[in-house]
Chain A
Amino acid sequence: MLSGLKGLGVTLRGALRPKVTTEYPKEHLPIDERFMGFPALTWDSNRVEPYCTGCMVCVRYCPTQCMSAQMKDNDKFVEGDSHRKKIIESFEINLSRCILCGICVDVCNFDAIEMSHEHERSERLRNANRVDLPELLEMGKKYQAEVRWKQSKPSPASPNEKAEIKAVSEAKKASEADSEATNKQSEAPDSGEDAA
């Protein structure tokens, strides 16, 4: 009976402390920046197109086979605006099947897929959690804005940029050749290559 009274003391002390719960739909706990929500596709705002080239590596490594993707030739590459020869045509993730393991992010070579902070989804229909490319990109844009996302390494130059750089360097070279002495000429091709 006497050590039981100690328990009453513990609960009394508990009653005097503030509550630790939050009222969920009204309040949300902060999400850690590393939090892995549903996967989303990132948007390359420089090239105005998705990062994803549809290389299928995430599709192959997904433990639950919840994704499917299809690639197409990139029109912007033909026009010279983008460095991506191929671009994603359609991408579908069944978020009901996704187990949020993050393997797709690990294996992606192009920073094209990220685990977003989106984690609350409920739909009335069984297949309503299948999300397609536009929706994935929307999620991705939201996530990118949220965490001020940066790609891990800069993307290579597009054909147009290459041409531009080449033109610039050539113009520079020409002007240098005009104005400078001949001993500077040996360094000019190097700097041109670095820029490319």
Chain B
Amino acid sequence: MTDPVATQIEDKFTYQASSEPGTVDMMVNMGPQHPATHGVFRMELRVDGEQIQDVVPHIGYLHRGSEKLCEHELYSQIITLFDRFDYVSNFNNELVIVSAVEKLMGVEPPPRAELIRIIMCEFNRIASHLLFYGTFAIDMGAITPVLYNFRDREKIQSLFESVSGARMMHNYFRVGGVKEDVKDDFTSRALALCDELERGVDETDKLLTENEIFVERTTGIGVISGEDALDWGLSGPVLRASGVPYDVRVDEPYSRYSELDFGIPVGSAGDCWDRFYLRILEARESLSIIRQAMALLEPGDTMAQIRRIARPPAGEVYAHCENPRGDLGVYIVSDGGERPYRLKVRPPSFCNLQALKDLTVGHYIADAVVILGTLDIVLGEVDR
């Protein structure tokens, strides 16, 4: 029963004698078509029984060459590409590129536009976290939370549809503002949605957070210390769960975040439970941000008076924002033309994925799935 393909793959690993005599480790190929890898991600696991000895991650199945494409696109067209990096938090991605170009051009968007952007981004953060709770629960075998969370996510997307005209790939933020003003019923609709989302998040909280099986599965799994997390360059909830209080929204406040008062949940255990619960709290903080921003919203322009085709001066700029997944940065080199000379993205998912081996080795196969779930990667962003 020798399987030539499998042996070929196995040869890549140096066989290490397992703890018991007369046995060898087994290679399990998880992905790219595996229900728990959240897309086309592939892990080669070397397992002793069910215990993971080694992990080799393979990425690039979704590589579209977006960074290179950006060099051939106008700045207004690049926004559409950024929508497709992290395709579950589109507004947050758009915010990075427009704020980078604005920084380079020295343009100040009108205050109303900035607030609309913040509201949209925070709604999108909640939508992204809702997706995380759901898929994470699916990874652990609970099938109901994902549908409850999709129910609420659909409501957010309907709001997005009424604002930007698209449910996912919005292309709504522009260099110097937003495409068009929100509708008249936006405020009432958004505030009502906030209440509904609060109930939805509470539901997930009740369903999972305190459940014995859930706690048993997540406590002490995939622990990473704050120092290690910083060394790996992790960011976002994964970093904060390890006790490092770093959030771009408060450490380098961009847009109008400096006017808003909100809390940053910070864990200390650095395990999967912390990473999950932190996101629950973060969604609630996002709701508070939205309510504050709604209160600040005043009528006014939504677009600065600039040329329709953005033509930033020659120079370099780095701008970063707090994505639902972490610190998303974009570095633009401009030669003064309509298109960037070079554009580099710092994708949080990709950087968070680096710690995968440190986190998984020594755990069981079932834990690898849970750990990958809490890293909350989006392959569109990892592979770009």
Contacts and interface: CB of A to CB of B under 8 A. Distances in A.
A101 interface: yes
21 contacts: A3-B211, A4-B213, A6-B211, A7-B211, A10-B203, A10-B207, A11-B207, A20-B154, A34-B161, A34-B162, A34-B165, A35-B161, A36-B165, A36-B166, A61-B74, A61-B77, A100-B169, A102-B165, A102-B179, A103-B76, A103-B80
Interface of A: 1, 3-4, 6-7, 9-11, 14, 20, 31-32, 34-36, 61, 63, 99-103, 106-107, 115
Contacts of A11: 144, 207
B169 A3 contact: no
B76 A61 contact: yes
Contacts of B212: 1, 3-4
Given A6-B206, A34-B183, A63-B81, 10 more contacts: A7-B206, A10-B206, A32-B165, A34-B163, A34-B164, A63-B80, A99-B80, A100-B166, A101-B171, A103-B76
Nearest to A60: B74
Interface string B70-97: 0001101100110000000000000000
Contacts of B169: 99-101
| Interface core residue of B80, B154, B183 (most chain A CB under 10 Å) | B80
A90 B73 CA distance: 26
Contacts of A14: 144, 148, 203
Contacts of A3: 210-212
Contacts of B151: 20
Contact of A35 (B74, B144, B165): B165
Interface string B147-180: 0100100100010011111100101000000010
B74 to A, nearest CB: 7
Contacts of A31: 161
B175 to A, nearest CB: 12
A32 B158 contact: yes
A32 B162 contact: yes
A3 B154 CA distance: 29
A118 B202 CA distance: 37
Nearest to A115: B165
Interface in B23-63: none
A101 B206 CA distance: 39
Interface in B204-219: 206-208, 210-213
A7 B205 CA distance: 9
Interface of B: 73-74, 76-77, 80-81, 144, 148, 151, 154, 158, 161-166, 169, 171, 179, 183, 203, 206-208, 210-213, 308
Contacts of A6: 206, 210-211
A32 B161 contact: yes
Contacts of B148: 14
A103 B83 CA distance: 14
A65 B77 CA distance: 11
Contacts of B164: 34
A31 B161 CA distance: 9
A1 B163 CA distance: 45
B171 A102 contact: yes
Contacts of B158: 32
A11 B77 CA distance: 45
Given A10-B207, A32-B161, A99-B169, A106 B80 contact: no
A115 B161 CA distance: 13
B164 to A, nearest CB: 7
A14 B166 CA distance: 29
A96 to B, nearest CB: 15
A105 to B, nearest CB: 10
A90 B322 CA distance: 46
A178 B161 CA distance: 61
A106 B165 CA distance: 13
Contacts of B161: 31-32, 34-35
Contacts of B210: 3, 6
A29 to B, nearest CB: 8
Q: Which of B148, B171, B210, B213 has the most CB of A within 10 A?
A: B171
B36 to A, nearest CB: 22
Nearest to A34: B165
Listed from nearest, the 9 A-B pairs whose CB atoms lie closest are A36-B165, A63-B77, A3-B210, A34-B165, A101-B171, A101-B80, A32-B162, A32-B161, A7-B207
Contacts of A101: 77, 80, 169, 171
A95 to B, nearest CB: 15
A15 to B, nearest CB: 10
Contacts of B213: 4
Contacts of A7: 206-208, 211
